[in-house]
Amino acid sequence: MDKIRIVGGNTLNGVIPISGAKNAALPLIIASLLTDETLTLENVPRLRDVAMLTRILSNHGVDYSLNGKRPGEDHLTGQTIHLTAREIVDTRAPYEMVSQMRASFWVIGPLLARAHQARVSLPGGCAIGTRPVDLFISGLEALGAQIEIEAGYVVTRAPGGLVGARYRFPKVSVGATHTLMMAATLARGETVLEGAAREPEVVDLAKCLVAMGAKIEGAGTSTIRIQGVDRLSGTTHRVLPDRIETGTYAMAVAMTGGDVTLTHTSADLLRSALEVLAATGTEITETSDGIRVRRGPGPILPVDVTTEPFPAFPTDLQAQFMALMTRASGTSSITETIFENRFMHVAELARLGARIAIDGRTARVEGVERLAGAPVMATDLRASVSLVIAGLVAEGETMVSRVYHLDRGFERLEEKLSRCGAIIERISGEGMR
């Protein structure tokens, strides 16, 4: 099993290209089930989750191909994927597939909309919380689906097709918003989703669906209106930049000091997080193609944050910000309101010398003058990169194990950081024997 070795102490200087957003690419790939024509997605990140999802969709009859490298591209440039579901050959999503990737449960919406039936395994537990599927089930029932739970599977049918309806989410759910929006595109009549997620990834999916012939209004607000159509066509769509990757590298620069320009991204995707980062004493400047992040020799200022749905501070940057606050000149508090069990990285940060106390959903972080390198273990995707950020300033060597979590969401992280002066390398499992 691979590990990442980091020797802390170097500032970061240079340019980091931001990849396409994983959280946008996954629902866009699933949207290929809605049409018998080819959906072409550009700027798709090269990630474990993307590769796994395309293999999962092939079980349903989706053919896919990848473009080869083009002139002027390097291995940090996003890939182009062509997906064609001419016929849905299997409406089952078995446990062995869904258990590998929770987002694959979202196929239930497109399968039901196009094939009028689906048998999808319940996803099971999750390291950062239960994330139940009750919102998916109640939303699809509102659209006329008949749903039963049988032996760990959600079995759903809509013999005459789905029918538009008004549905209010009892709480904000990005995954359920993706799923119901896709399902409603082929439902008869109008669907109104109230209390919908407002994330940029929801807007990106809506833009792609509209290009495919869907009629959608209000994406990016809490009320989305979808007028169902008989069929959708193929299209070409470019995946938006990854705001979580953008925020992660911005926090790495704030942690280490230095001057890095993040390209192929936009400050509009994470205004709240950048405002919080600026309050720590980090200089943020918008450029024509991204963001310039600078921090001089001054102290990192402590800032209190609370995670909330977009446009507020994102839960997917909570662990990274906690790593930053371990070196702040004072005490900060971080309150997690989205997921339970999302403080599992605290114990690993403590191994590096961090002082963090947990009280329910709030972590109080007392900044320290130094961190010391140590062996640490990644517990989930975002937690794993927080350990990398801490390792960049820890004295001596930090060895991060279970980095397959990183490969799920960060494209060639060690290469991007090493280009800017970090001492970081991947050690293959074979090399450790």
- Mark the binding-site residues for phosphoenolpyruvate, compressed into ranges: 22-23
Q: How far is CA 270 from CA 187, 276, 277, in A?
A: 33, 10, 11
Cβ atoms of 411 and 49 closer than 8 Å: no
3-state secondary structure of 249: helix
- Hunting for tokens 């097709």 — which residue is that? 161
Residues in the chain: 433
Distance CA 208, CA 312 (A): 25
3-state secondary structure of 220: coil
What six digits make up the tokens of 238?
């470019």
What six digits make up the tokens of 8?
């802390």
Q: Give the closest residue to 287 by CA, choosing from 269, 265, 307.
A: 265
Catalytic one of 15, 52, 126, 147: 126
Instruction: Say which residues have a Cβ less than 8 Å from residue 369's Cβ, sequence separation at least 6.
Output: none
End-to-end Cα separation, the chain, in angstroms: 10
Residue 420 is a catalytic residue: no
Bond preceding residue 311 cis, omega within 30 of 0: yes
Distance CA 372, CA 349 (A): 10
Active site residues: 126
